[in-house]
Structure 1
Amino acid sequence: MEISKVTLDNFLKKWDGAPLINNIKGTEATHKSGEGITFTITATNARILMNTQNRFFRNGDSEIMKLFYSSQIIELQKERLLTALEEFLEDFNSYLPLLSEEEQFKVVFDVKDEEIKKDGKVIPAAKGSDQRTYQLVAKWNVEDLENFKNGKLSADQFNEKITVEKE
């Protein structure tokens, strides 16, 4: 499971497809017998840096953050995370550990604004950051995963089997 976790983490951090609107900060993996494997990925929102001010937006600049992280940008963010995950599974499905029939393969993206510290203290999040905070959960059952690994499902067919929850 550790090889799968490290490979997924590196793949997302070095993703060369359409730019992710996130910074991949880390990946954790857990296995619960009877439930399956869950990879939890900390994917903080990309910070906005204005060239003219050379600083990050925080409190007082919530209008710009709200404008940039519109519902359309958040949907694009989710779409790109799922696209990167699907490509990882196409390229590295042989790295995934074996699971029993009743288990699932699940990936959880925890998306939120990154904490920023100044003088050792965490600066409060910008107003509206709760609208940019969510979990994107992608799940596959073991049968579909095994059929994909064995060539019984194409990548497109496998990607259609995904169950996506947005919390």
Structure 2
Amino acid sequence: MALRASEVLPAKHWSGNAVDEITLEKDRRHRRRVLLKSDGGIEFLLDLAEATLLRHGDGLKLDDGRIIAVRAVPEPLLEVRASSPLHLLQLAWHLGNRHLEAQIEESRILIRRDHVIANMLEKLGATTAEVIEPFDPEGGAYAGGHNHDHSHHHGHGHGH
């Protein structure tokens, strides 16, 4: 019988030593049920109640109590910095308005490299730099088991 991992321990909320790591690209970290093999060769079945975005630093708790740490594969990204906290919020708004995946931090935003977007950001006064880092974008309003098949019948001020 294969080992199972049915619990995700959120990054920064678990302590102790991981027995191994599993390094996954961003597109392979949104899973519900899949056979996985850790970097060190431990095979296990990820068996979650719903599809979950595994984040860099999360722990996957095996049914024998051991923990495997999730690592995001470093990828080519664009680091966006601003002249002030307000400016960073404005830049985040512009990125969100384009529905781009973004990792938002206190002093910077990371997005996938895109020269058109980089050009737009620089025109808005941002400082950009190409970096290679793990990408852990925000989950978004519909993350966590919801899908985008929602209706838009919530009144948009038609003559009121």
Band the TM-score falls in, shorter-chain normalisation: under 0.3
Larger Rg belongs to: 2
Higher strand residue share: 2
Q: What is the TM-score with the length of structure 1 in the denominator? A: 0.24
Q: What is the TM-score with the length of structure 2 in the denominator? A: 0.25
